[in-house]
Amino acid sequence: GSEMCIRDRSYIISPTSIRNAIHRLDVIDKADLKAKNLVDKAPWAFAADGGNKGVAVNVIAASVWDFSLGKPLIQPLACSNLNADQSARNCAATVIEAVKCAGLSPALCLQGESDGAMAAKNEVALVISEMHSLACAQADAAAAAARGARAAAADATGAQPAPQVQPAPPRKPPLLSTAETCAIHAKALEERKFISEAFPLLVDALRLLWDIIKNTEGGRVEFYRRIWVHECGLPEQCYQKALAQVRFLRLV
If DSSP codes are grouped into helix, strand and coil, which group holds residue 51? strand
pLDDT tens sequence across 99-154: 999 999 999 999 999 887 888 889 999 999 999 999 998 888 888 888 787 777 77
Task: Give the pTM.
Answer: 0.62
Q: Strands 44-52 and 109-114, how do they pair? A: parallel
Better-scored residue on pLDDT, 127 or 21: 127
Buried-exposed string 137-163: b where 16+ CB fall within 10 A, e elsewhere: eeeeeeeeeeeeeeeeeeeeeeeeeee
pLDDT tens sequence across 4-20: 445 555 666 778 888 88
Residues 6+ apart with CB under 8 A from 115: 49, 181, 182, 184, 185
